[in-house]
Structure 1
């Protein structure tokens, strides 16, 4: 799936009004980008949900411009999870040039289970593994999709605020 949306609306690009499982499968490409002048969530699930990447070829979720206050890449209620099987994760802070080198790179990352409460990641409850303890510890300390502008991966890319 590739989507680019320029809009002044406030609706989510992907929305589920109930429990959802959204999976990006092996070798799949998922690229969603948006700009706009109103606050919005790119992905918004209202029921307990899971958003999974299973060895995807390329994932990119990003705001093309600095996001408006109240915007989020991903919004899911308590007890919802962002799950990643095996990926390299790149992240950029808000205000970074989208084409620039990532602010953070974590590799290899696998078996990640990232809990959400609204648009906030519960960092202390992140589960996952890396070959390197330092990489995993930094990921847990710094990963979130609220303070990031997006994320992208050649496997997974996240641009952060």
Structure 2
């Protein structure tokens, strides 16, 4: 799965987290483990139950993937700075036809890519925050449910 695909899916996760809209089964599969043997009230340690029987979220998996995503965001920032450090002069294109035009186009493209990398790194940082909040919410909800229906935790 490409980094761009991961970003698209986690944007959907953030949308779900903030709006409550449903994710497709494929998107759920990236962050949950579905088990047909699980009842709504039965959970194993480290998993939070959803209203749908057989749907379980593993907050630790969300947190772990958040760490992976944070690393990817840091790599994108490094790539952006390395790209920014490459400096070319119009004379670097030599005597090619339209050398100045090639230089201008290179500069526009390099600047746009630096902005794209910056935007993507920012999005991934927001995804990390969203994953952390989502994991925290599932853990707290499970504690609340256990306290109300199953005794003190």
The TM-score, its normalising length taken from structure 1, stands at: 0.24
> Radius of gyration: which is bigger?
2
Structure number with higher strand proportion: 1
